A and B are shown apart, each in its own frame.
Chain A
């Protein structure tokens, strides 16, 4: 026969202070665990959402990122003639030749400079990124020294307002619009006319070519043809895959850091639970003797103490997740090692993280409670009753 669950609740309630201290220790560990997983997840989500599955990015072979890539004008025109490229409403090919450069801009508050991506765009660039939406001002005019900036930059960088001038590369660039591209990497970029930016930054070659596929299934064949064409030294990737690669290093770094930190921290919390449970057992020796004398079996005692310690872990897990879920309100802006540029992303919770965090907290409770519970169940009835 099992002991009723209310017995466990009452025990935890009697030693309120101890319960609160143990639970808060566990809650902190779960909080750190969940927060770091949420951060890595948010980073990946931001970069994966940046790409569209049917968009193809063409880069110089082996470059791996737009920042270091270079595709010369003659190679670009070869790519442009491929038949698999979709056509837009006015009959134009849905393809954009872009350049990507980094510039230093001071951050708000500290005025410390940080790297920001400047993307030179063509008219088609906007059609290829339907998630992009103008929130203030207007689009930059083709052929003028005008730019628009992403909404994440406005919040974090100094003097990012309409009609302010950005200075870099022979000339001042007037900000005429602010765009929002949702939770994507584009929201941390500055966009201007490619034909103005290329001479200004003295770049003879494009950085990348983006186009939409006419038919998604033609990707394999097109990729093979582009990569084996002797006139070209390029590689093609789906945009989703490209952005996933840009987040890999940083997300892995965050995950490894997070998991190794929480494993060490959890040892502390497990010890906290052990201390609590051992003393719960010691304080209740007479009680355990009475229960045994009443006919409860060793197994019931073992389960009762395990349940109590699992309860501690579960409460800790719930409290930790409760506070971690508030982290979704925060946005972090830091340098992505891989692209060497500033990127804003937020904590993002998924069902998987909730489930992992709760499992983690239950494991902590279980490991902390198993030894004390065994000790409780092994007690000799007579000795236990005799102790005062």
Chain B
């Protein structure tokens, strides 16, 4: 207990310096936490995917469609419970910077396959009845201030023209990882309009199929049966689990994620420099004291414990402060750039990493000053001034 008191007294001897160091550490831990959260937000789609869902798409790439006629053939495959389908619409709401995912889906089967999209029963009814209706996530609706019954117009990029939709339902996510920024409308509406106007190559074609399998263990078997069934056809398929599908998007921007990870390491090194600097200065000032302690019979080990302990006290207090600040900061951050990251929550692993980073910094920063203090010859230490 006494030693703890001594450590605290020592740490707070130079209040200004310690205060500044606290501030530095907490800022570093805060930005480390935010950067880690940005990375995990990138993987949110992967985490939210279910093991019982498969995605079938055209094997060339996502910009090629699959014929609607594949639906019944897929459904006949053993192990398949239900099949839904959809098309990435890619429409723009007023301006390009208002980005949110907008997809044409078959709502009835879609809602069965995605139980994490929670709707009121009467809203579900209203959505299914109105072919021009759409449902949107709670966050999206709040952001643009839409109300039920409002008409929302999207400007098509791949599907030309202006498209009107009526808000019929607002869904909530079952848990925090569910994306509440999606805009989902009737695929039939899209298809009928395409057929009515020109011979669009996507008429009677869908972007992807979502397949619910009866048991997760069947996933790989079902995928290979489906893909081999469409081998050498006009549109060959590629079926993978929803997780793998989402992962492929993350992998494409892998270089950026690596860059953010590197940068989050850099901030730890920066803070290491700051704390190490503080410890160097602290020990330099106390060289005379250490000499006195040595004269009294305390060994190098005792002095090492004092230096390491002080570094630990300073770093951990700063670290806790930073961790506490991460929560309101993440809240503010997700409000300002929410449209890029549908979910933005701090994971427990980030907090563990915060503490680990703090411990590493505390020890690494104390190494050089500690060595200096231990090696100090008593006579020289006593002789030294300032």
B201 and A64 form a contact (CB under 8 A):
no
The digit string for B18-34, where 1 denotes a CB below 8 A from any CB of A, is 00110110011011000
| A61 interface hit (Cβ, 8 Å) | yes
Find chain B residues with CB under 8 A from A63 CB: 157-158, 160
Do B274 and A271 touch across chains, with their CB atoms under 8 A apart? yes
How far, in whole Å, are A275 and B17 apart by their CA atoms in the complex? 6
Contact of A114 with B281 in the complex, beta carbons under 8 Å: no
Bound-state CA distance A204–B203 (Å) is 13
Q: Please determine whether A388 and B24 come into contact, CB atoms closer than 8 angstroms.
A: no
Q: How far is the CA of A275 from the CA of B30 in the complex (A)?
A: 20
Contact A274:B27 (CB < 8 A) given known A28-B266, A201-B64, A334-B253: no
Judged by a CB distance under 8 angstroms, whether B277 is at the interface is yes
In the complex, whether B317 has a CB less than 8 A from a CB of chain A is: no
Q: How far is the CA of A337 from the CA of B256 in the complex (A)?
A: 11
**Is A1's CB within 8 Å of the partner chain B?**
no
Residues from chain A with Cβ under 8 Å of B274 in the complex: 21, 25, 268-269, 271-272, 275
Q: Which residues of B contact A286 (CB under 8 A)?
A: 386
Partner of A275, one of B90, B281, B385: B281
Contact B266 A18 (CB under 8 A): no
For B21, the chain A residues whose CB sits under 8 A away are 271, 275
Q: Digitize B58-94: 1 where CB-to-A-CB distance is under 8 Å, 0 elsewhere.
A: 0111111000000000000000000000000010000
Q: Which of A25, A68, A102, A203 contacts B62 (CB 8 A)?
A: A102
Say yes or no: B255 contacts A334, CB within 8 Å. Answer: yes
A202 to chain B: which residues have CB within 8 Å? Answer: 201, 234
Asked whether B224 is an interface residue with its Cβ less than 8 Å from the other chain, the reply is no
Contact between chains at A62 and B160 (CB < 8 Å) = yes
Is there a chain A Cβ closer than 8 Å to B136's Cβ?
A: no
Asked, given contacts A201-B64, A271-B23, whether A21 binds B252 with beta carbons under 8 Å apart, the answer is no
Give B24 Cβ to nearest chain A Cβ, in Å.
4
Q: Are B61 and A103 in contact (CB under 8 A)?
A: yes
Give the residues from 49 to 105 in chain A that come closer than 8 angstroms, CB to CB, to chain B: 60-65, 67-68, 101-104
Q: How far is the CB of B365 from chain A (nearest CB, A)?
A: 9
Q: Which residues of A contact B252 (CB under 8 A)?
A: 114-115, 334-335, 342
Q: Could you tell me the dominant secondary structure of chain B's interface residues?
A: helix
On whether the beta carbons of A21 and B263 are closer than 8 Å, the reply is no
A22 within 8 A of B: yes
User: Is there a chain B Cβ closer than 8 Å to A129's Cβ?
Assistant: no
- Of A62, A65, A340, which one neighbours B155 at CB under 8 angstroms? A62
Give CA–CA (A11, B28) in the complex, Å: 28
| A329 interface hit (Cβ, 8 Å) | no
User: How long is the Cα–Cα vector from A357 to B206 in the complex, in angstroms?
Assistant: 50
Instruction: Verify A203–B273 contact, CB threshold 8 A.
Output: no
Within 8 A of B (CB), among A231-252: 233, 249
Asked if B152 is at the interface of the complex by the 8 Å CB criterion, the answer is: no
Q: Do B273 and A201 have beta carbons less than 8 Å apart? A: no
Bound together, the chains give a CA A32 to CA B260 distance in angstroms of 11
Interface centre among B30, B64, B199, by most A CB within 10 Å? B64
Interface residue? A283 (CB, 8 A): yes
Task: Report the separation of the CA atoms of residues A233 and B238 in the bound assembly, to the nearest whole angstrom.
Answer: 34
Question: Interface code A280-296, partner B: CB below 8 Å = 1, 0 otherwise?
Answer: 00010010000000000
What B residues does A2 contact at CB under 8 A?
none
**Interface membership of A261, Cβ < 8 A:** yes
Say whether A112 contacts B248, CB under 8 Å. Answer: yes
Known A18-B280, A203-B201; contact A115-B61, beta-carbon cutoff 8 A: yes
Asked whether, in the complex, the Cβ of A276 is within 8 Å of the Cβ of B277, the reply is: yes
Interface string of B238-267 (1 = CB under 8 A from A): 100000000010011111100110010011
How distant is the Cα of A272 from the Cα of B270 in the complex, in angstroms?
9
**B16 close to A (CB within 8 Å):** yes
Q: How far is the CB of B306 from chain A (nearest CB, A)?
A: 19
The 8 A CB mask of B154-170 against A (1 = contact, 0 = none) is 01111010000000000
Q: Does A278 interact with chain B (Cβ within 8 Å)?
A: yes
Say yes or no for B269: interface residue by CB 8 A criterion: yes
B90–A22 CB distance below 8 A:
no
A344 to B27, CA, bound (A): 34
* Closest CB in chain B relative to A313 CB, distance in Å: 14
Least CB distance from A376 to B in Å reads 14
Whose C-beta in chain A lies nearest to the C-beta of B161? Answer: A62
Known: A115-B61, A261-B263. A275 touches B254 (CB 8 A): no
Inter-chain contacts of B160 with A (CB < 8 A): 60-63, 233
Does A113 belong to the interface (CB within 8 Å)?
Answer: yes
A28 lies within 8 A of B270 (CB): yes
Smallest CB–CB gap between B99 and chain A, Å? 9
| B273 and A272 within 8 A (CB) | yes
- On whether the beta carbons of A169 and B24 are closer than 8 Å, the reply is no
Task: Please provide the chain A residues from 143 to 192 with a CB less than 8 Å away from any CB of chain B in the complex.
Answer: 168-170
B311 at the interface (CB under 8 A from A): no
Are A275 and B31 touching (Cβ within 8 A)? no
Interface membership of A279, Cβ < 8 A: yes
Given contacts A62-B155, A264-B31, 16 further A-B contacts (CB under 8 A): A17-B368, A32-B266, A62-B157, A68-B157, A168-B60, A169-B60, A201-B64, A249-B96, A253-B340, A261-B31, A265-B31, A265-B270, A278-B16, A279-B17, A279-B281, A335-B252
Considering the complex of A and B, which 8 residue pairs feature the smallest CB-CB distances, nearest first?
Answer: A25-B273, A334-B255, A271-B24, A335-B252, A68-B158, A21-B277, A272-B274, A102-B61
Interface residues of A (CB under 8 A from B): 17-18, 21-22, 24-25, 28-29, 31-32, 39, 60-65, 67-68, 101-104, 110, 112-115, 168-170, 201-204, 233, 249, 253, 257, 261, 264-265, 267-269, 271-272, 274-276, 278-279, 283, 286, 332-335, 337, 340, 342, 388
Write 6 A-B pairs (CB below 8 A) sorted by A numbering.
A17-B280, A18-B277, A28-B266, A102-B63, A265-B31, A268-B27
